[in-house]
Amino acid sequence: AWLFAWKETGPMARDRKPLKETGGGKTKRAGTVLEHFCCQANRGFGRIFSGGVVKCLVMELFSIGVKIYRNEGRQMDLTNAVPGRPDGQLQDYEAARRVSWEEEAKQFTWWKTGRVNAAFEAVDRHVEQGRGDAPAILYYDGVRDETWSFRRLRDDAARFGDALRRLGIGRGDRVFLFMPKGPELAVALLGIIRIGAVAGPLFEAFMETAVQDRLADSGAAAVVTTPALRPRIPRERLPELRHVILVGAEASDAEAGEWSYTELMKEAFTDSPVEWVDREAPMLLHYTSGSTGKPKGVVHVHNLMIHQYRVGRWVLDLRPGDIYWCTADPGWITGTSAGLFAPWLHGVPVVIRGGRFQQEGWYETVEKFGVTVWFSAPTAFRMLMAAGDELPKRYNLSSLRHVLSAGEPLNPEVFRWGLRALGNRIHDNWWMTETGCTMITNYPALPIKPGSMGRPLPGIEAAILNDQGRVLGPNQLGNLAIRAGWPGMMRAIWNNEEKYKQYFPFEGWYISGDSAYRDEDGYFWFQGRVDDVINTSGERVGPFEVESKLVEHPAVAEAGVIGKPDPVRGEIIKAFISLRQGYAPTEELKEEIQQFVRNGLAAHAMPREIEFRDKLPKTRSGKIMRRVLKAWELGLPTGDLSTMED
Ligand code: 6R9
């Protein structure tokens, strides 16, 4: 009575064979199997059932296009793809895959002039082509409320570049940004790149050691910061650091080697020329934490603009008239690449919201600016979700046309919340600091399978490799890899060729360090960092699927899951959970949550240990740091913690 199967008639069924006769006995047998299986449906099946009869049965039902329902009649995510928008980009995915990267290059003036600079293309170009009055930045922090045109942004960036030149800074020099987000950060970022120097954005919350490590590693010549953050820059230990530029300081505040931004800008000129560089010249240096040891400086070159432009078109779905808001901090690559460059290269204005995260403030910002395209991260969406479905109803969110998420896997529950609360599909997209911009994504026009990160960006070849570098077929878990050589690929790890080489252990492939699989429809499913996959009683369990089940429980706000060594089971699953407001951390609740996973996912996926915590350790970009949970659990050193939130 709990299993129904019938021919699927939706978009996924298109090329499938007609439904075969399924005899009662067979259906029932499949039923028993499927009770276990259904619970894991949205994570696929080939991987879970590697052997024999079980897999065949399930495969057979699926391959003939049956939909699978559980006793309560709820449709499983497996075939429950949410249809795409009829007006969305990439209606013809296969045709898009044939569009070369050089085709993208034709958008840029350098295609004709031969003179390259990404800052010029992002900002100056619009001014030169008569769009100087169009808005480039919409800034709001509760006090300041400013609209910056492309012309104003260009002029200030040019001026800042001039000021840097007067300080003797030029081509190839590293200049860091250590300040809160806002128009001045944007001006400085562009000004640095405009003169051919390399910009190194840092999270404003970094403490002294984190700042020192990065500035020292890269031999930074200057840093742009604020008086409040200045004490965290240990100048005496940074001999190569020549200048500190202080935003929001009077000339009289500046000590030796320090400059007031305002004063510098007063003396500088807007007609300072652009530094024309090579497409392969470095422009961005984003430090990303290694799981152990010191942070790595990922080097990106001006050619990244081609990739960012394509992402703006096909991933962000940007159009004239759009108001774009990416909530990411520029200290994280999402904040620069998807947050500023992709929209500006399309002439689309960006909203910058100053201040700290606060649920009301976010909905308010969408309403205030009429945001049409919104990019955030699962951790933020989970926090909004935890604040309840009533809150968004108090705001007018009808301007939203396209919503995106990156940085962590997007739990199906959060996706469903998006449909409900935002009236939008949340488009998960996967990438890394090292990849420059989006690699795998859900497109506006394509159906979304909740829990999947979607399909490769046209021009990107993604595959699953085994540990020997062989390409694996559908539904096999392995190393997520990308065919090397796309325009936005990092070109180096600063001062560390050895590290760089480690990303390319097999000829022609970039290895991400993430484990994933690809299904028959070409959708990729994230499982965890390779090191995070749990092996319990011989079953491989991705922490993400357990976490996703956990956050479906009404008491759970966030969850981090690790494998804990166990003499009998190899590893057992341990969950760290932060509760939603109004729930007490009791033993009964622990048991209830365990049963919830056992019944809803699988007995072997049940966390045998649960620990409640007020907060989970997270990176500043919002990733739950499972390696830190694990180190705490085992009493081992935690490694580099510089990217961890307070
Ligand atoms: C852009 C960014 C990279 C790592 C990556 C993966 C995780 C990012 C994800 C995702 C699942 C997604 N990650 N996007 N995991 N689904 N859509 O996050 O860069 O900070 O360098 O992190 O983040 O583990 O390897 P970065």
Residue 53 and residue 55: Cα distance in Å, rounded?
Answer: 5
Task: Return the structure tokens found at 264.
Answer: 């510098």
Task: Please list the residues that pair with 5 across neighbouring strands.
Answer: 68
470: Cβ–Cβ under 8 A, 6 or more apart, which residues? Answer: none
pLDDT at 20: 33
pLDDT at 32 over 80: no
- Reduced to 3 states, what is the DSSP secondary structure of residue 248? coil
| 80-120 per-position pLDDT tens digit | 689 888 888 788 899 999 999 999 999 999 999 999 999 99
Q: Ligand 1: which atom is nearest the Cα of residue 544? A: 11
Question: Is residue 99 within 8 Å of 91, Cβ to Cβ?
Answer: no
Task: Return the structure tokens found at 210.
Answer: 């984190």
Task: Return the structure tokens found at 150.
Answer: 């492309």
Measure 87 CA to ligand 1 centroid, in angstroms: 28
Measure 404 CA to ligand 1 centroid, in angstroms: 13
pTM for this entry: 0.84
Please report which confidence band the pLDDT of residue 604 belongs to, taking 50, 70 and 90 as the band edges: confident
Report which protein residue has its CA nearest ligand 1's atom 11: 409
| 351-374 per-position pLDDT tens digit | 999 987 788 899 999 999 999 999
Over residues 296-320, mean pLDDT: 97
Please report which confidence band the pLDDT of residue 5 belongs to, taking 50, 70 and 90 as the band edges: very low
**H/E segment holding residue 176:** strand 174-178
Measure 161 CA to ligand 1 centroid, in angstroms: 32
- Reduced to 3 states, what is the DSSP secondary structure of residue 239? coil
Report which protein residue has its CA nearest ligand 1's atom 18: 407
DSSP H helices, 183-260, are 183-194, 208-218
Task: Return the structure tokens found at 263.
Answer: 């004063």
Do β-strands 324-326 and 373-376 pair in parallel, antiparallel, or remain unpaired? parallel
Task: Return the top range by mean pLDDT from 31-40, 272-281, 545-554, 636-645.
Answer: 272-281
Q: Ligand 1: which atom is nearest the Cα of residue 526? A: 11
Please report which confidence band the pLDDT of residue 158 belongs to, taking 50, 70 and 90 as the band edges: very high
| 234-251 per-position pLDDT tens digit | 999 999 999 999 999 999
Do β-strands 402-406 and 373-376 pair in parallel, antiparallel, or remain unpaired? parallel
| 259-284 per-position pLDDT tens digit | 999 999 999 999 999 999 999 999 99
> What are the φ/ψ torsions at residue 454 (nearest 5 degrees)?
100, -150
Instruction: Say which range, 49-58, 215-224, 238-247, 582-591, has the weakest mean pLDDT.
Output: 49-58
Query: Which one of 316, 327, 382, 431 would you pick to mutate in the ligand 1 pocket, going by the greatest count of ligand atoms within 8 A of its CB?
Result: 431
pLDDT at 129 over 80: yes
pLDDT at 357: 74
Measure 45 CA to ligand 1 centroid, in angstroms: 24
Q: Which of 51, 46, 125 is nearest to 78 (CA)?
A: 46
Report which protein residue has its CA nearest ligand 1's atom 23: 407
Q: Ligand 1: which atom is nearest the Cα of residue 298? A: 21
Task: Return the structure tokens found at 342.
Answer: 């992709």
Please report which confidence band the pLDDT of residue 640 belongs to, taking 50, 70 and 90 as the band edges: confident
Measure 408 CA to ligand 1 centroid, in angstroms: 5
Residue showing tokens 């007031």: 260
| Cα–Cα separations (whole angstroms), residue 201 to 225, 289, 336, 352, 353 | 11, 14, 9, 16, 17
| 562-584 per-position pLDDT tens digit | 999 988 888 999 999 999 999 99
Q: State the chain's mean pLDDT as an integer.
A: 87
DSSP H helices, 282-341, are 304-310, 333
Q: Which of 386, 450, 381 is nearest to 422 (CA)?
A: 381
Report which protein residue has its CA nearest ligand 1's atom 10: 408
Measure 418 CA to ligand 1 centroid, in angstroms: 20
| 44-53 per-position pLDDT tens digit | 333 333 333 3
Measure 407 CA to ligand 1 centroid, in angstroms: 4
Please report which confidence band the pLDDT of residue 78 belongs to, taking 50, 70 and 90 as the band edges: very low
pLDDT at 79 over 60: no
Measure 107 CA to ligand 1 centroid, in angstroms: 29
DSSP 272: P
pLDDT at 62: 54
pLDDT at 290: 61
Report which protein residue has its CA nearest ligand 1's atom 3: 432
Over residues 455-468, mean pLDDT: 97
Over residues 20-32, mean pLDDT: 38
| 185-206 per-position pLDDT tens digit | 999 999 999 999 999 999 998 8
| 378-437 per-position pLDDT tens digit | 989 999 998 989 999 999 999 999 999 999 999 999 999 999 999 999 999 999 999 999
Question: Is residue 121 within 8 Å of 346, Cβ to Cβ?
Answer: no
Do β-strands 478-483 and 462-465 pair in parallel, antiparallel, or remain unpaired? antiparallel
Task: Return the structure tokens found at 64.
Answer: 């003939």
- Strand ranges across the sheet with 243-246: 258-260, 243-246, 222-225, 174-178, 198-202, 282-288, 296-301, 492-493
Over residues 305-329, mean pLDDT: 97
Residues with CB under 6 A from ligand 1: 288, 332-334, 406-409, 428-433, 453, 512-514, 526, 529, 621
| 490-540 per-position pLDDT tens digit | 999 999 999 999 999 999 999 999 999 999 999 999 988 888 888 887 777
